[in-house]
Structure 1
């Protein structure tokens, strides 16, 4: 829209190719000019972009991506920055009196609180993306605000009233030369309409505004997320890397379930690292991720921001041991859930017994005392298997213990048949020492027996942080892949997977992952523990080298058995390790803690 600019600007615009240019004979102002342009537009989406802006690479891609990712999206705004790089707006906050504030104005635009996808009250009209059909259904920008100001906020409130959501997308960065077109003083000129239209807006949306917080600097952090949402703080050892370990897969899905249950989620890695691209991916999912250098210590975070949260989840014993005292010191009334991930003392007891190591045995006793103390001092605990819940019920009968197990989605689409496959695989992150032991034992004691019956067989070993002791196993029969970004092609080509774990606890993501892709598993009893698995129904179980090798050979030759285990493994996953199963477990513990009893 050329809103009656001077002739020099008009000549410049006429030279631009690839656009339809509409020139107004008189200056209509932002609101009416935008409505005129929207009426002439033919695309699926309408983009409103001020003439005093500069866009940055991939800005539009980020905004469009929100509509692909979030079916509820109705309006998306960009991160606005000043020409010097400081933040101008990370979404807008609307107070109860209809005054607004640009969240984060003049601050460092790279701070974590400004860099995750977020529901907001409104976004500035300097850069807005909205579906054309929705804009038309709302009759465009309301003429009562002509010539400008509050029309963007009014549109955002209308979008919400229509059942859609307003999002701020920090990946879309737009430089806004604020005030170049209309000045910055509200005492004269177009800018004076800001105060006039505030009164009109307050009158129109008084019922909706009654649910907003009062104008107070103490309310800014809670008000930055639109709607009456609970706040959950989750602390784990490090940034989640779901393509590298099953614990990250589970935790990421748990965070997404918390979002579904109405929580705005803040995630803190205990080492306070920002790890690309994983931190950015979590931010893109709407999870606030805190990191250095913006928070010098975890205690500082609890002291300064702890009161914002309605729930704290501490993952793993080391994290709970370090941070539970901060919870009780700074936010004593906030319920704390200790997510054990697995009972570390149970794993350590088994390792000590396997190696007959007295030092490890004493450490396991100390670990048990610590974990039981942490569970008793928490408001509730989460375990991943019925076996571990039974252990805790015997030792701590008064504590509430819920099961929230591994979370995997079943593979959709055709599964390659038995005859299209060959060989077998092992997958597991090698920072987890039971996986190292499993492969060393398999290579030394089981693989030679398999090769006697299947001389062409090959084992594919997949896993991040592979140590030298595993790398040296490579041969014509053992392929050591290390980290593989996309493991599905390997699963699709292999006949079976193995889980020769001799010690451990919890449930095994490697078995879940294999079954999710329709690949049968041969496992030890320890590997299959707590996973609702039955030998020869949905898994093959063997604990000594000869039997383990025999089960691999048997499965490699029996197509009917392979098909049975593949189908039943899929069914077991859907029943016990789906998003729905985890949601039920999490709902139970939240209800026990009286969090959202009417909404979950």
Structure 2
């Protein structure tokens, strides 16, 4: 039985974020192909973490900057190693290459962090020109074209780190076709190093009808900056206007890890309800009449909008929210970047049964055409088997990756070994000084 080791930046939390859902889908894909899986992380156990052993997946707590990881990895002798985001590859990639050189190295990017950061920087610059907080929070979403994004991203340390990790790995999984095209066309990454593999989902068989639903819903992990920014746009600009048009409605905001600054916004009199953690996000999504996701920046594809489609809940979002998910002209709801257009869309969808039902039907169509599990079943393992048989030639052709592994891993290795030596000295001094 082949063995996969997943090196997680955090422990998977599928009920907290789309990233957690994504990781579970990857684990299940390997299990369906009879792989043995060990999930390892240096992160502390989290409140909402998934019970991996109950699913037949072994767990291992590993240390950063410690040779104990190398010994553990050698004992595991994996056939493949999956890095959860580029930061994990930076931390452990050189150790994996040194200890298990024949293991296929996979990178799950989740989304392009540098793209999200570039859009956020552009948004903040536009907001800085506003004369008041009200004006700042009414600034619309970031809609820069790829050539403008290139100018913002090209010199960033974050992009260079992400690209280096992609080149050092044998295959990187991408959830967004837009980001794949940005990498191949704008940054000239070889297509052979990338694979499109989004989240996947199927529609519920009997979603609640129009008459059985009420209120608006917005869902997103509060620790994720684009989600928090969307909450602020709703609170200070969009929701007051929607509420004025529909005074009996409420907006229910759900998400993991709400900070005090979020719960302080809770105002039942204004219909602005910050409700925090949802045990079952799809259950609360499926009761709402309309999903609001006014994202002003971000990257990847949005789990909340995929959940809305699954539940047959029409959504109102921006071009950033809809990116890489569906044609904006065939969105199951409305896509708009103007506050007035978002307001009109939210009110109309909430009141117009015919328009609402058409959007619900479009949800099923979009899921079937773009995110059906059958469309992607087995694709990753097929690609992995090909890699295993052509690995030497594949790596030889990736000359940039070879150079980066030679130089970057050496510097990362020396820094890690310096930290490890420093920690050993500190531990020895502590033992000598103890009574």
TM-score exceeds 0.5: yes
Pair 1:316-2:110 in alignment: no
- 1:596 Cα offset (Å): 12
From 493, 496, 500, give the equivalent of 2:287.
493
- 1:487 Cα offset (Å): 3.4
What's 2:20 paired with? 248
What's 1:402 paired with? 195
**Residues 141-167 of structure 1: CA deviation (Å, up to 9, x unaligned):** xxxxxxxxxxxxxxxxxxxxxxxxxxx
**Residues 505-531 of structure 1: CA deviation (Å, up to 9, x unaligned):** 000000011111111111100000001
| Distance verdict in 2 for CA 1:552–1:267, change over 3 Å | same
| Distance verdict in 2 for CA 1:440–1:573, change over 3 Å | same
- 1:546 Cα offset (Å): 1.1
| Distance verdict in 2 for CA 1:517–1:478, change over 3 Å | same
Partner-residue secondary structure (3-state), 2:329: coil
**How far apart in 1 are the matches of 2:299 and 2:25?**
20
What's 2:70 paired with? 302
What's 2:317 paired with? 523
What's 2:266 paired with? 474
**How far apart in 1 are the matches of 2:266 and 2:20?**
28
- 1:485 Cα offset (Å): 1.1
Pair 1:509-2:303 in alignment: yes
Pair 1:416-2:204 in alignment: no
Q: Given that residues 440 and 470 in structure 1 are in contact (C-alpha distance below 8 angstroms), is that contact kept between their aligned partners in structure 2?
A: no
- TM-score, with length taken from structure 1: 0.57
Partner-residue secondary structure (3-state), 2:222: coil
What's 1:208 paired with? none
Q: Given that residues 239 and 278 in structure 1 are in contact (C-alpha distance below 8 angstroms), is that contact kept between their aligned partners in structure 2?
A: yes
| Distance verdict in 2 for CA 1:542–1:298, change over 3 Å | farther
Pair 1:441-2:213 in alignment: no
Q: Given that residues 423 and 459 in structure 1 are in contact (C-alpha distance below 8 angstroms), is that contact kept between their aligned partners in structure 2?
A: yes
From 178, 183, 193, give the equivalent of 1:392.
183
Q: Superposition pairs for residues 235-384 of structure 1, below 5 Å?
A: 235-271=7-43, 273-275=44-46, 278-279=49-50, 281-291=51-61, 299-306=67-74, 308-356=77-125, 365-384=156-175
Q: Given that residues 348 and 364 in structure 1 are in contact (C-alpha distance below 8 angstroms), is that contact kept between their aligned partners in structure 2?
A: no
| Distance verdict in 2 for CA 1:537–1:510, change over 3 Å | closer
- 1:241 Cα offset (Å): 1.3
Unaligned runs of 5+ in 2: 128-151, 392-435
What's 2:278 paired with? 484
Q: Given that residues 380 and 401 in structure 1 are in contact (C-alpha distance below 8 angstroms), is that contact kept between their aligned partners in structure 2?
A: yes
What's 2:395 paired with? none
- 1:443 Cα offset (Å): 1.3
Aligned length: 362
Which structure dedicates a bigger proportion of its chain to helix?
Answer: 2
- TM-score, with length taken from structure 2: 0.78
- 1:473 Cα offset (Å): 1.9
- 1:251 Cα offset (Å): 0.5
**How far apart in 1 are the matches of 2:48 and 2:121?**
38
What's 1:459 paired with? 251
**How far apart in 2 are the matches of 1:318 and 1:538?**
35
Unaligned runs of 5+ in 1: 1-228
- 1:571 Cα offset (Å): 2.8
Q: Given that residues 218 and 291 in structure 2 are in contact (C-alpha distance below 8 angstroms), is that contact kept between their aligned partners in structure 1?
A: yes
The farther-off stretch of 489-498 and 310-319 is 489-498
The farther-off stretch of 453-462 and 481-490 is 481-490
| Distance verdict in 2 for CA 1:500–1:266, change over 3 Å | same
What's 1:99 paired with? none
**Residues 281-306 of structure 1: CA deviation (Å, up to 9, x unaligned):** 211111111126xx787652333334
**How far apart in 2 are the matches of 1:433 and 1:364?**
22
Q: Give me the CA root mean square deviation.
A: 2.5
**How far apart in 2 are the matches of 1:369 and 1:411?**
41
Partner-residue secondary structure (3-state), 1:498: strand
| Distance verdict in 2 for CA 1:277–1:375, change over 3 Å | closer
Q: Given that residues 321 and 374 in structure 1 are in contact (C-alpha distance below 8 angstroms), is that contact kept between their aligned partners in structure 2?
A: yes
